[in-house]
Amino acid sequence: MLAGLLLGAVTCAAAGARDCDCGYTLNYSLPETEQILFTTHLATNFSTTLHGWITQTYNVTPAAARGPFGKSAQTSNIQQNPSGLDLFVRSKTLTSDAGALIPISELVTAQTEILYGSFRVWMQAPAVNGTCAAFFFYHDDSQEIDLEILSRKQPLRNNAAADGNKGFAELVNQSPDAVASGYNAVNTTGYITRELTFNPTQGWHEYRIDWLPDRVDIFADGAWLQTFGDYVPDRPGALHLIHWSNGDAGWSGGPPAEDAVMGVGWVEAFFNSTGEGLGRCRGKEGACWIPPKGFSGLPGSEATGTMGDSGAGGGTASASGHPLATGAAACLQRGVWVLGLSLVSIACHVSGRLV
């Protein structure tokens, strides 16, 4: 019996390695070579699915939005097409008792217990003045990491000030200092504007945020942009994709004179979540390598289906980035169950393929 259990465990481990059940390892070279392990993988190709993401519907008054305009997030401002999602900010404002609202779009991961990770988005920034396109991690207003593209700063038509074909990204690591200055990180050490080597409104580009226990690193098209080492968030949260405007001339600008669109092709996130380990896996052995850039194609949680299938609810909780529930843990459970039937190695090996 004991021999059977050991054999089962070994067979599961071998099957697990093939399925990345022992996690995902990132080769890290800042400042020195280091290998970082994450347990979970959420890959969403938005041209076919909203898997793991939930479209948002809410209204925010101008006062709460801290701008001359409020915001109205609607699923109808998100359209799926062959290259991914179009996230709209509409030019036509809505009226409400509290004041005019700008129609915007936002999606949030169903997984809200993300605690450290490497997050990548394939995006085309809006080419219409007056909006902010952002990819960010959020726990609360003092634990938040933002990558924001302000269309008013990009080399758009009619912008004489724009330098050639290069654009800019606003990188923000929100902190208690930012909250204390009225939710404005502008004069904190957690805010910097970085020049990009490309125009983010032209073509598609990859932006990456690596959030580790002692640092945050941000990249564009694989090139390092910034490291934040102070006030690194240490509480779990969710990832957000948002295209918004509140008319604030100092940030988003707008409202846009015409409908503005932010394109999102895919998001891939390798991360840990609270309360989740790797069971029997020891160290980084048997983990899959995370490529430095590009859609990995690694086994994980990608599902197929259309926007209509996932509807307003987006991904379901059970399919929201918990591949391990159907990976290592399930393999172990099967191993124990099969032991009782004395079919350990064969059944476990076969079921490993059926995950």
Ligand X SMILES: *[C@@H]1O[C@H](CO)[C@@H](O)[C@H](O)[C@H]1NC(C)=O
* Residues found near ligand X in the complex (CB under 6 A): 27, 36-39, 45, 47-48, 116, 129, 152, 154, 156, 158-159, 161, 181, 184, 186-187, 212-213, 253, 266, 272, 277-278, 289, 291, 295
Q: Which is nearer to ligand X, 38 or 138 (CB)?
A: 38
Q: Which is nearer to ligand X, 9 or 264 (CB)?
A: 264
Q: Give whole-number Cα distances, 338 to 16, 19, 328, 330, 354, in Å.
A: 17, 20, 15, 12, 15
Distance CA 25, CA 150 (A): 33
Rounded to a whole number of angstroms, the minimum distance from the CB of residue 249 to ligand X is 7
Rounded to a whole number of angstroms, the minimum distance from the CB of residue 255 to ligand X is 11
Q: Which residue is nearest to ligand X (CB)?
A: 159
Distance CA 206, CA 200 (A): 10
Which residue, among 259, 192, 251, 258, has the nearest Cα to 67 in the 3D structure? Answer: 251
Q: Which is nearer to ligand X, 180 or 346 (CB)?
A: 180
Q: Which is nearer to ligand X, 12 or 121 (CB)?
A: 121
Would you call the peptide bond into 213 cis, given omega within 30 degrees of 0 as the criterion? no
Rounded to a whole number of angstroms, the minimum distance from the CB of residue 304 to ligand X is 9
For the beta carbon of residue 187, count every other beta carbon within 10 angstroms.
9
Rounded to a whole number of angstroms, the minimum distance from the CB of residue 272 to ligand X is 4
Rounded to a whole number of angstroms, the minimum distance from the CB of residue 54 to ligand X is 20
Q: Which is nearer to ligand X, 232 or 338 (CB)?
A: 232
Q: What is the DSSP string of 321-351?
A: S-GGGGTHHHHHHHHHHHHHTT-HHHHHHHH
Q: Give whole-number Cα distances, 30 to 22, 172, 213, in Å.
A: 24, 19, 14
